[in-house]
Structure 1
C-alpha cells in the first residue's frame, strides 16, 4: 500500500512529505536505534517515540518507507530539516505505537 494512502487511513499528521508513492511493505516498531538499524527492512513504516535528528539518519540508512513519531511527542527542528533534505516521509500521531501497529495490521500490512 502506498504511504500516502496509509497516512490517510491512519489520519497521520504529515510533517515532511518525501516520496509519497513509496510502498509500505511492513512495519517496524522500535525506539532503540541500534535495534532499528539491524532489524528494520526497506519498505517498513517505522513507528517510534524518538524525535531527534538521529531518526532521519536511521531512516535513510534502513530505507524505510517513512517514520511515524507516536504519542504526539515533539519532533526536533533539526530532524525536520534533515528529513526535508533527504526526502524522508515523516509523520506524527497522537496514538500510541501499539494502537498504530494494530491499525496497520487491520489494513493488511503485516
Structure 2
C-alpha cells in the first residue's frame, strides 16, 4: 500500500503530500515524541494528535511514511512549514485514533 492509496481508501485530508508513492508498512499510535522516535517503524503511519513543529522532525528521524493527525486536529503553521521543508507526508482525519488505526490496518492487510 502507498500513502496515496491510504489517502484514497480512508478519505484523508492532505495537509502536505511530499511523496504519495511512499510505501506504508504498518502503523504506530503515540503522542510522546521520544517514544515515537524509538518505537515507530520505518514506513509506518504515525497516528497522533500532536500538531507542533517537533512532529515533522520526529517523523523525519523515525522514517515514517506519513503522519496522520486524528480527532480533527489541524497542523499549526510551524508544523506545515517543517513538513514541507523535511518532505514529510502530513495527513488528517476526523476519526478517533483507534478507529483510524483499525481501518488503516484492515486496508493494509487487504493489500489495497
Question: What TM-score range do you get, normalising by the shorter chain?
Answer: over 0.9
1:53-101 Cα shifts (integer Å, max 9, x gaps): 0000000000100000000113110000110111110001100100001
Q: SS of 1:46's equivalent?
A: strand
**SS of the residue aligned with 2:15?**
strand
Counterpart in 2 of 1:102?
102
Q: How many residues align?
A: 110
Inter-partner Cα distance in structure 1 for 2:4 and 2:56 = 19
Partner of 1:88: 88
1:44 maps to 44
Ranges in structure 1 where 5+ consecutive residues have no aligned partner: none
- 1:76 is aligned to 2:71: no
Matches within 5 A, 1:60-71: 60-71=60-71
Q: Within 2, Cα distance between the matches of 1:106 and 1:22?
A: 18
Match for residue 2 of structure 2? Answer: 2
Asked if the contact 2:57/2:86 (under 8 Å) is kept, the reply is: no
The CA deviation string for residues 19-48 of structure 1, in whole angstroms up to 9 with x for no partner, is: 111000010110111110110011001000
Alpha-carbon distance in 1 for matches of 2:69, 2:63: 17
Q: Which runs of 5+ in 2 are unaligned?
A: none
